[in-house]
Amino acid sequence: MPDSPLFTAAAVAVIAMAIAVVVAVGLQVLRSFRDLGTDAERATYKTLHAASRAGQYLRTGLNPAGAAKASRQLRSILGCDALAITDTTGVLAWDGAAEELKPALMGLASKVFDGGHLAVIPAGELELLAAGDGGVMLAPEVERAVVIAPIKTGTRVVGVLAAFAPAAGAGLVRATGEVADWVATQVELAELDASRTLLMEAEVRALRAQISPHFIYNSLNAIASFINTDPVRARELVVEFADFTRYSFRRHGDFTTLAEELRCIDRYLLLERARFGDRVQVSLRIAPEVLSTVIPFLSLQPLVENAVRHGLEAKEGPGHISITANDSGAFAEVTIEDDGVGMDPDQLRSVLAGHSDGDHVGLRNVDARLRQVYGDDHGLVIETAPGEGTLITMRVPKSQPRHDA
């Protein structure tokens, strides 16, 4: 055929191109494989990744749901046949083989709970002890040993970690002890988080106790003064008072939104203006984009109450409170400023350090909670001097995926 040389050349070109593509893809695969590092580096990454995953599950403490998910990751780290996690009352999670030993585990671990020391039960002896503790008989061809390590928080043994394998070599013994210590650290962190939550709840209760006797008494007196002279306004104030107390004494959630807190402040100021009349003047400048920002519950209202009670109430004539909320990059910045009597900076430092009781407890409480939640860099910034008023600035992150309002 006249065109056969051309056809042959085209076929050769196509084949050459295909070979080039295969070679390029192969080189890319090899390069990607090399990018993963050496065998040791890959093993290290796998171990750290498994520990990170397990840590997420254990940060809620020793409970069945978290322990079950963490046990899978921890067994991959130890490379054992089975891994179990218990608390002081029973087995929380079992991952892997040999589940017939599960009923006997708490009995096998009794000396670990009593003495707080790691125990090794070799193959052969484990079958005999298990048969005595739980009536368990393994198949003759199955031999397993177990390493049982205590999970301690302080001096308390709060659970054990048990690794089952054909033999309990020195490597498995050391690794099981280290993993149990790591689990104990996660449990301690969970307990610390729980303690912080309880502390925050106690501080919110303290704020509610502070609000209730002083503010409620004065608000009811103000409402009573309008019952005969202006019953319509008295009814409106009763509704505002009910809404304010419902929000302040709610039982759910440690966080709210900036919008909800500003509504609470609006009701509070309506009731205070019923007492003080034109002596309390208020201006607000709020950026709409920060209204959905999550903030600790009752973190703004005490600052406004401080401005009224300690700034304006002691001042002769009218006083002004300015509330602003601005978008400041990754943060929402809220300021509360009054032109009241101010306070001595040394006294303020004493209050925030917890060395002064009584007045300004709201300032100290809010400052402490902000530092607990966001870190020491996010406490209140307060500028004040006698006769110069007070400016309070609060900065909170706009993105807080761990906190729900």
- Condensed to tens digits (0 to 9), the pLDDT of residues 61-119 reads 889 988 999 999 999 989 999 999 999 999 999 999 888 888 889 999 999 999 999 99
Residue 362 has a pLDDT of: 77
Choice among 133-142, 214-223, 261-270, 295-304 with the minimum mean pLDDT: 133-142
- Cα–Cα–Cα angle for 50, 52, 53, nearest 5°? 65
- Give the residue-averaged pLDDT of 114-131: 82
Conformation bin of residue 4: beta by default, left when phi > 0, alpha when psi is -120 to 50? alpha
Q: How far is CA 113 from the centre of its chain?
A: 30
Residue 27 has a pLDDT of: 52
Task: Check whether 159 has a pLDDT greater than 50.
Answer: yes
Residues of the chain with CATH 3.30.565.10: 227-397
76 vs 130 pLDDT, higher one: 76
Cα Rg of the chain, angstroms: 33
Task: Check whether 148 has a pLDDT greater than 90.
Answer: yes
Residue 13 has a pLDDT of: 54
Residues of the chain with CATH 3.30.450.40: 39-189
| CA gap 65, 8 in Å, rounded | 67
- Give the residue-averaged pLDDT of 123-128: 75
Choice among 32-41, 358-367, 368-377 with the minimum mean pLDDT: 32-41
Residue 101 has a pLDDT of: 86
181 vs 210 pLDDT, higher one: 181
38 vs 314 pLDDT, higher one: 314
pLDDT category at 228 given cuts 50, 70, 90 is confident
Residue carrying structure tokens 């809404």: 243
Residue 120 has a pLDDT of: 93
| CA gap 153, 149 in Å, rounded | 13
Residue 1 has a pLDDT of: 45
283 vs 278 pLDDT, higher one: 283
- Give the residue-averaged pLDDT of 383-399: 93
**Phi and psi (nearest 5°) for 184?**
-60, -40
The CATH architecture of the domain made up of 39-189 is 2-Layer Sandwich (3.30)
Residue 80 has a pLDDT of: 93
How much of the chain, in percent, has pLDDT values that exceed 90?
A: 37
127 vs 170 pLDDT, higher one: 170
| CA gap 52, 205 in Å, rounded | 35
- Give the residue-averaged pLDDT of 363-387: 89
- Give the residue-averaged pLDDT of 323-330: 94
- Condensed to tens digits (0 to 9), the pLDDT of residues 1-55 reads 444 555 455 555 555 565 555 555 555 544 544 555 676 666 666 777 777 787 7
Q: Please tell me the class of the 227-397 domain.
A: alpha beta
- Give the residue-averaged pLDDT of 351-364: 73
| CA gap 255, 197 in Å, rounded | 11
Task: Check whether 207 has a pLDDT greater than 60.
Answer: no
